[in-house]
Amino acid sequence: MAATAALSTDDRQDAPRPAFPPPPVTARPIDRQAWIDAYRVVRAETERRAAPLSPEDQQIQSMEDASPTKWHRAHVTWFFEQFLLAEHLPGYAIHDPRLHYLFNSYYVAAGPRQPRTQRGLITRPTCAEVATYRAHVDRAVEALLGQASEKALADILPILEIGLFHEQQHQELLWTDILHAFAQNPLDPIYDEGWRFPTASPEAGSVTLDKGITAIGHEGDGFSYDNESPRHDSLILPVRIDRALVRNRDWLAFMEDGGYGRQDLWLNDGWYAAQGQGWEAPGYWRRHDGQWLQASLAGPKPVDPDAPVTHVSYYEADAYARWAGRVLPTEFEWEVAARNGDLPDAYGLVWQWTRSAYLAYPGYRPLPGALGEYNGKFMSNQFVLRGSSVATPEGHARATYRNFFYPHQRWQFTGLRLAEPLS
């Protein structure tokens, strides 16, 4: 992925097979080393993303939706300690029981926790102490993987696997959260001088879906989240979906046509969000000397007309689509087009808003226990995004993946592609 490449362009040469994702949890015999490798790759990526940040940078929570880098590093570690080591490694000594309260995120069944809006108040443990915590847990996890019986591993691997995907989600947040934090600083700090937004495919045109019943949702033995199941039939109505993402040049046309000021284009809640926040352009855009700049991990950069628009909310995406006389695709339309391989730039650039509200699939059942809170309890007031973004770690994305955010949120790398019903 290009974003990764910006930090490490030459260390992925000739890799015959990436360590991540790991083998299916059901694969036999169990390849312990493959799991250890996958664990190391994921853990190292977190540290690689945190490395350019000073202790001060890692401390702050720049808004309620964001979390400190240090918190991300510790929370994903706590996840392994809480759900894997404490349950499955006999004699494991909790690194520091007081951390449980601080680094639980929202697993109510796992006990009380630091209020999420006050994560930035916790200066101790320091970054260095969090590194010690991570090392402690890493040693224990690797020991567990080395020594557990095959039988025990059958229970352990599904938890390890979700822990790795979970950590990858926080890697993405780590980047989007620090981007938000840096964007608040008039000194325009730079995370990585060499970071560049990857180039979008030059393709145009559209892909057409015919009417028909098709199965939607995950199948097979690879990893998926509970919210991608059960696989179920869905009716697709005839539709045409753009192969190209909406680009900054398109968005500028919308802006120049007064799109942010025409209430008739907006959902009611969206209009009040836009007015309340003073939106006049995508997130992180500002005018400077007659030019639009957008904050990025490489600092403010001129808006590239050819790049996909990003940091737009659902409300903006919806208004744009209305202005263009089009619609967003449903998440099902997107999934069908993507699994057919017809959707350029489906992954690795921007998450793509769909017009589907985030709801349970028919017959959905959350995981048992605390992990049941992972996805199911957020099934109201949010919209589904599909694909993946420049910030998504390698191996994380798939066609059935359902991301979701509130319609007013735009600090993620969120963009859109358009569609048109044919019936």
Q: Which residues bind a copy of itself (CB under 8 A)?
A: 54-60, 62, 70, 98, 101-102, 106, 108-109, 114, 118, 120-127, 181-182, 184-187, 189, 211, 213, 232-235, 237, 263-264, 266-271, 314-315, 318, 327, 355-357, 359-360, 362-363, 372-373, 377-381, 383, 407, 421, 423
Report in angstroms how near the CB of residue 386 gets to a copy of itself at its nearest.
16
Distance of CA 362 to the CA centre of its chain: 24
Q: Which is nearer to a copy of itself, 156 or 178 (CB)?
A: 178
**Buried-exposed string 179-196: b where 16+ CB fall within 10 A, e elsewhere:** bbbbbeeeeebebbeebb
- The number of CA neighbours under 13 Å toward the Cβ of 239 is 23
Residues in Cβ contact with 316 at an 8 Å cutoff, skipping those fewer than 6 apart? 270, 274, 279, 282, 410
- From residue 67, alpha-carbon distances to 110, 134, 171 in Å are 20, 18, 12
- Distance (Å, whole) CA 192 – CA 238: 44
- Distance (Å, whole) CA 213 – CA 229: 17
- Asked if 384 and 402 touch (Cβ cutoff 8 Å), the reply is yes
Report in angstroms how near the CB of residue 379 gets to a copy of itself at its nearest.
6
Report in angstroms how near the CB of residue 339 gets to a copy of itself at its nearest.
19
Report in angstroms how near the CB of residue 99 gets to a copy of itself at its nearest.
9
Provide the 10 A C-beta neighbour count for residue 327: 17
- Distance (Å, whole) CA 148 – CA 30: 11
Report in angstroms how near the CB of residue 237 gets to a copy of itself at its nearest.
5
Q: Which is nearer to a copy of itself, 15 or 187 (CB)?
A: 187
Q: Which is nearer to a copy of itself, 4 or 313 (CB)?
A: 313
- Distance (Å, whole) CA 255 – CA 281: 7
Q: Which is nearer to a copy of itself, 86 or 108 (CB)?
A: 108
Report in angstroms how near the CB of residue 223 gets to a copy of itself at its nearest.
23
- The number of CA neighbours under 13 Å toward the Cβ of 177 is 28
Provide the 10 A C-beta neighbour count for residue 78: 24
Beta bridge partners of 352: 386, 415
Report in angstroms how near the CB of residue 17 gets to a copy of itself at its nearest.
38
Report in angstroms how near the CB of residue 333 gets to a copy of itself at its nearest.
10
Nearest 5°: the CA angle 2, 333, 283 is 45
Q: Is 188 left (phi over 0), alpha (psi -120 to 50) or beta?
A: left
Report in angstroms how near the CB of residue 79 gets to a copy of itself at its nearest.
18
